[in-house]
């Protein structure tokens, strides 16, 4: 059974199905059917996997462009499995959310999200650079359309900025891939990992790949497209953007940059750690004065992704393998929990925005009295983003800070400031919007109804489950992480 291809194909076919049959059958049913089928395939795939083995499994490899030795090569390990699971879960939420709101051109909307699901899963499964690049770019177009078609007033500016910025980065990545492909005589990541490269070559290649990854994550100072894109995107677009799109950048660092270019990664580690710290502290400060709810969440997103890059590059300063895997696991857990922090905030705020079409924090007041249930869920997501224990947001942050304090205590000290910064900006926002007497806009809103409660309850349960028992996730992540870590720290220069 070609589970991986099936998984990618299910989204594509579902998208086509929505476009073709959506006029006759309720297109939402087709979309949710598709996601259910994908989940079923994912379930079958999970049965086949051996989680204690950290290597690539269920490999599918077919020649694609034999002349250049480009192959259609897919594989999965625990890390990819977790991220694919995350993608499906988030898409479930988005598709379920589509029952709650009405957009124009619903068919196109759903088809794009199914397409996006395929592309994101493709990125997480691809083991061939060209295939990876194809999925990477394929992800861009639906997102571009999503912002451009269903966005708010400044949408064309934001969509264009998003597209050009990320596209510029990925073109440099393609150049890097071609060079690597020529050197390795193959575009397979596995072959690339074993090809010897001088430090000089590695450095340039690292920067070329970083151009794509740093923009996607986004790292400081390449982050300014994100607040614009988030503010203009529709709620579902923001959820996908925060929960999935940002993750592929970090995934690229783990899967491509670090194993293939270990020496350059070590060489640039201080720079990356520095940029991550700036993201954590400086962006945390910037977030405090944001007047637009979605901008604020977007900035908090950047600050939290700073922990991912921090955890990843701390491994080059770690004293031993266990300490390094602590950092890397922390980074990966942070990737996943961030999806349920910022992603959940965007999702919840989307439900509110749908009622009142207002983003300015200052216009809200007294939501707590008008929408008690909504404010309860929103508070939980805020707490998860702040990193309160027993919620998902705490785990990754804690592990990364612990690694930082052990490897570079001063870095850890700076990273720990986030405890205060994130509490300050998010709670100030929460206070303004949810406390006090209801303002004019808020007077008109109603509390969330049963369908919306179910949606938010589902997300909340995931948030709590990840926070209370993260070991369930970590035992899946640990074997592949030890393998990737080996590759990421074994120098190519001595070979």
Partner 1 sequence: MLVNEMALICLLSPLLGAVAARFYCHWAYARWLTIVTITVSWLFACALFRDVAFIGKAVDLYQFSWVDIGRYHFEVGFLLDSLSLMMMVIVTSVSLLVHVYSLGYMQEDANQSTYFSYVSFFTFAMLILVMANNLLFVFFGWEGVGLASYLLIGFWQTKAYPARASIKAFVVNRVGDMGLIIAMGLILLQLGDLEYANILGRGSQLLGVVWHGWRWIDFICLGLFVGAMGKSAQMPLQIWLPDSMAGPTPISALIHAATMVTAGVYLVCRFAPWFELSPITLSIVLWVGFSTMILMGIVALVANDIKKVIAYSTLSQLGMMVGICGLSGYVFSLYHLATHAAFKALLFLSAGAVIIASNHEQDLRKISGMANHRTIHLSMFIGLLSMIAVPPLSGFFSKDAMLMFSAKQSLWPYVVMVGGAVLTALYSTRLYYLLFWQNRAINKTVPVGYSICWPLWILSAASIYLGYAMVPYLEVLLRSVDVGNQITVLVIKDIQDVAGFIDHALTSLPLTLTLFSVTVLTYVYWKKPSVLDRLIKRLAWGYDFIASQYGLNALFERYMVTGYQRLSIYCSEIVDSGLIDQRLVMGVSAQVKKASGPLARIANGKLYHYILVMLVALVLILLGLV
Taking CB under 8 A as the criterion, the residue among 49, 405, 465, 487 binding partner 1 is 405
435 binds partner 1 per the rule CB under 8 A:
yes
The tally of CA atoms less than 13 A away on the side-chain side of residue 195 is 19
Site for partner 1 in 339-398 (CB under 8 A): 366, 368-369, 372, 376, 383, 388-390, 395, 398
Q: Are strands 70-76 and 57-65 parallel, antiparallel or unpaired?
A: antiparallel
Give the H or E element holding residue 385: helix 372-386
Site for partner 1 in 186-245 (CB under 8 A): 221, 224-225
166 binds partner 1 per the rule CB under 8 A:
no
- We find the least distance from the C-beta atom of residue 494 to partner 1, in angstroms, to be 25
User: How far is it, in rounded angstroms, from Cα 495 to Cα 489?
Assistant: 13
50 binds partner 1 per the rule CB under 8 A:
no
Taking CB under 8 A as the criterion, the residue among 393, 412, 479, 480 binding partner 1 is 412
- We find the least distance from the C-beta atom of residue 435 to partner 1, in angstroms, to be 4
86 binds partner 1 per the rule CB under 8 A:
no
Q: Which CB sits closer to partner 1, 90 or 361?
A: 361
Stretch touching partner 1 by CB under 8 A, among 27-35, 124-132, 339-347, 407-415: 407-415
Site track 264-303 with partner 1 (rule: CB under 8 A), x = hit:
------------------x--xxxxxx-------------
First-to-last C-alpha distance (Å) of the chain:
38
Q: Which CB sits closer to partner 1, 122 or 387?
A: 387
- Using a 10 angstrom Cβ sphere, with 0-12 exposed, 13-18 middle and 19 or more buried, the burial of residue 203 is middle
Q: Which CB sits closer to partner 1, 272 or 415?
A: 415
176 binds partner 1 per the rule CB under 8 A:
no
Contact between 138 and 35 (Cβ < 8 Å): no
Taking CB under 8 A as the criterion, the residue among 76, 258, 310, 404 binding partner 1 is 404
Contact between 217 and 249 (Cβ < 8 Å): yes
Residue 65 CB partners (closer than 8 Å, separation 6+): 130
Taking CB under 8 A as the criterion, the residue among 41, 56, 111, 401 binding partner 1 is 401
Q: Please state, as a whole number, how many other Cβ atoms lie within 10 Å of the Cβ of residue 84.
A: 25
Taking CB under 8 A as the criterion, the residue among 13, 174, 417, 487 binding partner 1 is 417
Closest by CA position to 440, among listed 369, 385, 365, 351: 365
Q: Which CB sits closer to partner 1, 134 or 464?
A: 464
165 binds partner 1 per the rule CB under 8 A:
yes
Q: Which CB sits closer to partner 1, 183 or 406?
A: 406
Taking CB under 8 A as the criterion, the residue among 119, 121, 399, 455 binding partner 1 is 399
- We find the least distance from the C-beta atom of residue 1 to partner 1, in angstroms, to be 33
Stretch touching partner 1 by CB under 8 A, among 142-150, 169-177, 245-253, 420-428: 420-428
- We find the least distance from the C-beta atom of residue 291 to partner 1, in angstroms, to be 9
Closest by CA position to 73, among listed 126, 129, 139: 126
Q: Please state, as a whole number, how many other Cβ atoms lie within 10 Å of the Cβ of residue 107.
A: 18
Contact between 304 and 331 (Cβ < 8 Å): no
Residue 492 CB partners (closer than 8 Å, separation 6+): 196, 197, 202, 262, 263
Position of tokens 């961030």?
338
Taking CB under 8 A as the criterion, the residue among 46, 183, 428, 439 binding partner 1 is 428
Backbone angles phi, psi at 63, to 5 degrees: -65, 140
437 binds partner 1 per the rule CB under 8 A:
yes
Count, in order, helices (H) and strands (E) of the chain: 24, 2
User: How far is it, in rounded angstroms, from Cα 219 to Cα 228?
Assistant: 15
Taking CB under 8 A as the criterion, the residue among 171, 423, 465, 487 binding partner 1 is 423
- Using a 10 angstrom Cβ sphere, with 0-12 exposed, 13-18 middle and 19 or more buried, the burial of residue 365 is buried
Q: Please state, as a whole number, how many other Cβ atoms lie within 10 Å of the Cβ of residue 416.
A: 14
DSSP 257: I
Binding-site size for partner 1 (CB under 8 A) equals: 58
141 binds partner 1 per the rule CB under 8 A:
no
471 binds partner 1 per the rule CB under 8 A:
yes
- We find the least distance from the C-beta atom of residue 282 to partner 1, in angstroms, to be 6
Q: Which CB sits closer to partner 1, 201 or 232?
A: 232
Residue 356 CB partners (closer than 8 Å, separation 6+): 441, 442, 444, 445
Q: Which CB sits closer to partner 1, 37 or 417?
A: 417
Stretch touching partner 1 by CB under 8 A, among 16-24, 45-53, 157-165, 236-244: 157-165
User: How far is it, in rounded angstroms, from Cα 73 to Cα 61?
Assistant: 4
* CA 466 centroid distance within chain: 16
- Please report, as ranges, the residues that interact with partner 1 according to CB under 8 A: 161, 164-165, 221, 224-225, 282, 285-290, 321-323, 325-326, 329, 366, 368-369, 372, 376, 383, 388-390, 395, 398-399, 401-402, 404-406, 409, 412-413, 416-417, 419-420, 423-424, 427-428, 431, 434-437, 469-471, 474-475, 478
């Amino acid at each position: 059974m070609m589970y991986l291809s099936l998984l990618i194909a299910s989204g594509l076919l579902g998208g086509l199905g929505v476009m073709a049959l959506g006029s006759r059958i309720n297109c939402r049913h087709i979309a949710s059917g598709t996601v259910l089928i994908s989940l079923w395939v994912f379930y079958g795939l999970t049965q086949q996997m051996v989680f204690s083995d950290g290597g690539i499994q269920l490999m599918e490899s077919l020649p694609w462009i034999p002349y250049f030795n480009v192959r259609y090569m897919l594989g999965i390990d625990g890390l990819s499995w977790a991220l694919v699971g995350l993608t499906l879960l988030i898409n479930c939420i988005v598709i379920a959310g589509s029952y709650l709101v009405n957009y124009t051109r619903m068919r196109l909307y759903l088809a794009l999200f199914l397409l996006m699901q395929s592309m994101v899963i493709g990125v997480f499964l691809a083991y061939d650079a060209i295939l990876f690049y194809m999925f990477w770019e394929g992800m861009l177009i639906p997102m571009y359309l999503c912002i451009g078609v269903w966005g708010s007033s400044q949408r064309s500016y934001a969509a264009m900025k998003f597209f050009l910025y990320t596209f510029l980065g990925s073109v440099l990545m393609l150049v890097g891939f071609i060079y690597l492909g020529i050197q390795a005589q193959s575009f397979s990541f596995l072959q690339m990992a074993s090809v010897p490269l001088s430090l000089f070559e590695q450095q340039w290649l690292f920067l070329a790949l970083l151009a794509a990854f740093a923009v996607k994550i986004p790292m400081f100072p390449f982050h300014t497209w994100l607040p614009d894109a988030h503010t203009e995107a529709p709620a579902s677009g923001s959820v996908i953007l925060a929960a999935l799109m940002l993750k592929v950048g970090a995934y690229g660092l783990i899967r491509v940059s670090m194993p293939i270019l270990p020496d350059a990664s070590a060489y640039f580690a201080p720079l990356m750690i520095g940029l991550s710290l700036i993201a954590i502290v400086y962006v945390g400060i910037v977030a405090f004065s944001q007047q637009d709810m979605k901008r604020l969440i977007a900035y908090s997103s950047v600050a939290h992704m700073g922990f991912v890059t921090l955890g990843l590059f701390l491994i080059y300063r770690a004293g031993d393998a266990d300490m390094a895997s602590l950092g890397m696991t922390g980074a990966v857990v942070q990737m996943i929990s961030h999806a349920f922090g910022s992603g959940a905030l965007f999702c919840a705020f989307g439900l509110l925005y749908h009622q009142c079409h207002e983003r300015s924090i200052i216009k809200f007041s007294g939501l707590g009295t008008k929408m008690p249930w909504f404010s309860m869920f929103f508070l939980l997501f805020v707490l998860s983003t702040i990193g309160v224990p027993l919620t998902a947001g705490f785990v990754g942050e804690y592990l990364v800070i612990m690694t930082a304090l052990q490897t570079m205590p001063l870095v850890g000290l700076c990273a720990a400031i986030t405890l205060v910064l994130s509490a300050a900006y998010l709670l100030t926002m929460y206070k303004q919007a949810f406390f006090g007497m209801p303002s004019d806009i808020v007077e008109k809103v109603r509390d969330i109804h049963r369908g919306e409660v179910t949606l938010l309850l589902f997300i909340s349960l995931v948030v709590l489950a990840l926070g209370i028992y993260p070991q369930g996730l970590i035992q899946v992540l640990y074997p592949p992480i030890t393998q990737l870590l080996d590759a990421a720290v074994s120098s190519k220069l001595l070979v």
